[in-house]
Structure 1
């Protein structure tokens, strides 16, 4: 695995207000978020029972709050210290701690299911992150990313981020459904199911030997 200088990592999640999509009362926004997590639930249903699960890059813990209703043995982590505190306040019954996706604290093959939801597009080194996920995963990964170029096109339609051609602040990487599947199969394992709630791609993958 490539060595990462953690002191130089960009905390790109701070560039974007992740709470907005969960707090937005707009009908369309609520529908999109509900569709997203219904898709996650469909993927979880394919691999039950789940002995242990861990969410990486949980942000303020709003996604964690939804995931804990789907899996009983959930922990979570986040790279930005102030977000760890917020996530813990929102989910006081769960173990939530600070860690880098490039240097996970769990032992090799120790977590049955990993979640990486809307994180990979923010990373400077996505392939290195997937290698670390492959190390820690006991068997499965559920990973979600914005579906490109649809994501940027929809931003332009609502007149957002026009000077950046619709690219959301902090999004360093962009994948179509085909390209994210190719990357996951290269660095993690076999993709066994895919959900495509507008405007995301969510993948369930099984770790390669």
Structure 2
């Protein structure tokens, strides 16, 4: 199913959701990159096939809906109320339960209400003003494993420049205010988690972790 996409809307001055439906792109280069990304995230999140999943920064719901369709116990949260409306609409169009999606900032999550066996936080940390606080919160709500991914710099911006995108910002995607190399994100996440596995689907870094 093709998702309804937020198309780069902003909420409270923050870019929310996706600029375009990269998962359904017909561009062969984008399709190749997304295939690598999807395979990496699917493999890393298969670590616990019966436990609960909390997708932090769920956007329009691509992954949460995929896991729910597979029969897994899922909750998806996002800071943006407008994006959550889109995620719920996507769920209804797919004949799936829309109430798995809730509007919650990552900074407001608590172990009491939001803990899960598997926490997934993909393409979120690069948008945050206080990623260290977010990492502490992810640690508090992760009962088993965490999967996290971020754009791999400077490759991400170089590829944007190569396709003549965001030239004025030297290839920086709107809303990206944190930038990590593969080594940088591993060092950062290692402050609170043991890293079990590293995947590098171009141009991302994805990590499977357990809390320290």
The interval holding the TM-score normalised by the smaller chain is: 0.7 to 0.9
Question: What are the superposed Cα offsets for residues 49-101 of structure 1, whole Å, 9 maximum, x if unpaired?
Answer: 44111101111112333344567111101111011011011124251101010
* Counterparts in 2 of 1:66 and 1:28: CA distance versus 1, 3 Å: farther
5+ residue gaps, structure 2, are 1-10
Aligned residues: 197
How do 1:170-189 and structure 2 match up within 5 A?
A: 170-186=175-191, 188-189=192-193
5+ residue gaps, structure 1, are 1-8
In structure 1, distance between residues paired with 2:25 and 2:49: 33
Instruction: Return the TM-score normalized by structure 2.
Output: 0.85
Equivalent residue number for residue 164 of structure 2: 159
Instruction: Return the TM-score normalized by structure 1.
Output: 0.86
- Does the 8 A contact of 1:52 with 1:111 survive in 2? yes
Equivalent residue number for residue 205 of structure 1: 209
In structure 2, distance between residues paired with 1:65 and 1:160: 30
* 1:88 maps onto 2:88 in alignment: yes
In structure 2, distance between residues paired with 1:71 and 1:193: 25
- Does the 8 A contact of 1:50 with 1:112 survive in 2? no
CA RMSD of aligned residues (A): 2.1
Structure 1 runs of 4+ off > 6 angstroms? none
Structure 1 residue 23 displacement after superposition? 3.6
> 184, 195, 198: which one pairs with 1:191?
195
